[in-house]
A and B are shown apart, each in its own frame.
Chain A
Amino acid sequence: MIEWSLFTESWPAYASGLWLTLQLTALALIAGLVLAIPLAVLRVSPNRWVSGPVWAYSYFFRGTPMLVQLLLMYYGLGQFEWIQGQWDAGSRFWLIFRDPYGCALVTFALNTGAYTTEILAGALRAMPHGEIEAARACGMSRFTMLRRILLPGALRRALPAYSNEIIFMLHGTSIASTVTLIDLTGAARNAYSQFFAPFEAFIFAGLIYLAITFALVGLFRIAERRWLAHLQPRKPLRKAA
Chain B
Amino acid sequence: MFPTAALLATRPERAAIPMLYGYLPSLLDGAWVTLRIAVFSLLLALVLGLIGASSRLSPNRLLRLPATAYTTIVRGIPDLVMMLLIFYGGQVGINVITDALGLEYVDVNPFVAGVVTLGFIFGAYFTETFRGAFMAVPAGQLEAGRAYGMSRWQVFSRILFPQMLRHALPGLGNNWQVMQKSTALVSIIGLSDITWLADQAGRTTHEPFLFYAVVCVFYLALTALSGLVFNWLERRYSVGVRRASA
What is the interface of chain A, defined by CB distance below 8 A to chain B? 59-60, 62-69, 71-72, 75-80, 170-172, 174-175, 177-178, 185, 188-189, 192, 198-199, 202-203, 205-206, 209-210, 213-214
Contacts and interface: CB of A to CB of B under 8 A. Distances in A.
Q: Does more than half of chain B's interface fall in helix, strand or loop, or is it mixed?
A: helix
Interface of B: 73, 75-82, 84-85, 88-89, 91-92, 181-185, 187-188, 195, 199, 202, 206-210, 212-213, 215-216, 219-220, 223-224
Interface centre among B84, B91, B199, B210 (most CB of A within 10 A): B84
A164 to B, nearest CB: 10
A76 B81 contact: no
Contact of A72 (B77, B206, B207, B212): B212
Interface centre among B78, B206, B208, B215 (most CB of A within 10 A): B78
A202 B181 contact: no
A126 to B, nearest CB: 10
A210 B77 contact: yes
Nearest to A217: B76
Q: Does more than half of chain A's interface fall in helix, strand or loop, or is it mixed?
A: helix
Nearest to A129: B246
A199 B85 CA distance: 6
A79 B207 contact: yes
Contacts of B212: 68, 71-72, 75-76
A67 B185 contact: yes
Contacts of A60: 216, 220
A92 to B, nearest CB: 22
A84 to B, nearest CB: 12
A68 B195 CA distance: 7
Given A59-B220, A67-B184, A67-B185, A75 B208 contact: yes
Contacts of B88: 192, 198, 202
A174 B81 contact: yes
B80 A174 contact: yes
Nearest to A72: B212
B116 to A, nearest CB: 15
Interface centre among B89, B187, B202 (most CB of A within 10 A): B89
6 contacts: A76-B209, A198-B84, A198-B92, A199-B92, A209-B76, A210-B76
A150 B129 CA distance: 31
B91 to A, nearest CB: 8
Contacts of A63: 219-220, 223-224
B33 to A, nearest CB: 15
A209 B38 CA distance: 25
Contacts of A79: 206-210
Nearest to B89: A198
B213 A72 contact: yes
B78 A189 contact: no
B206 A66 contact: no
A64 B78 CA distance: 18
Contacts of A68: 184, 195, 212, 215-216, 219
A177 B185 CA distance: 12
A64 B216 contact: yes
B209 A72 contact: yes
B219 A64 contact: yes
Contacts of B206: 79
Given A198-B89, A209-B76, A210-B76, A71 B195 contact: yes
